[in-house]
Amino acid sequence: MNDRMDQWLGRLPDDGPAPDLAARINLAIAERSRLKARWGRVGAAAIALALIGMTLMAVSWPVSGVLPAAPDSAAVLEAAEGFLSAPLEALGGSAEAAIAWESSLAEGVEVAFVVGVVLLTLGSVGGLARLLRRSESLNGFSA
């Protein structure tokens, strides 16, 4: 029966794949390739933005000097204490402190530095998105 079993196993019925399976696989590969190229460009752009941002920050750093001081700690403490007793007043206090800090930022920092920070942030977000996309594509099942 062993020989016959071998013959039978070699002739088992087979429903066969869809006729266009190979074409569909090639389409999926083409799509994956396009996606990779697109995300590759995103990654390159992210790196470029981050580099430009860091350069701008480095160039403007000596001019701007040290970063503006954080809001006055006494004002923050006062606002925090106020928050516990009267939330509306505390919110007002916090907003005022934030506005004061922002004003000092605008006075002490060059536009180039701020642009640098923005570009670096954009680059970081782009890079993070690229990394997340990569891990997703590695875990995903279909193209």
Position 3 contacts other proteins (CB under 8 A): no
To the nearest whole angstrom, how small is the minimum distance from the Cβ of residue 31 to other proteins? Answer: 10
User: Closest Cα partner for 45 from 137, 135, 129, 132?
Assistant: 129
To the nearest whole angstrom, how small is the minimum distance from the Cβ of residue 42 to other proteins? Answer: 18
Listed ranges 21-29, 39-47, 68-76, 97-105: which one lies at the site for other proteins (CB under 8 A) = 21-29
Q: Which is nearer to other proteins, 11 or 65 (CB)?
A: 11
Position 25 contacts other proteins (CB under 8 A): yes
Position 2 contacts other proteins (CB under 8 A): yes
Report the distance separating Cα 58 and Cα 49, nearest Å: 14
Report the distance separating Cα 93 and Cα 38, nearest Å: 47
Question: Residues 104 to 143: which contact other proteins by CB under 8 A?
Answer: 141-143
Evaluate whether 121 touches 49 at the Cβ level (below 8 Å).
Answer: no
Evaluate whether 36 touches 119 at the Cβ level (below 8 Å).
Answer: no
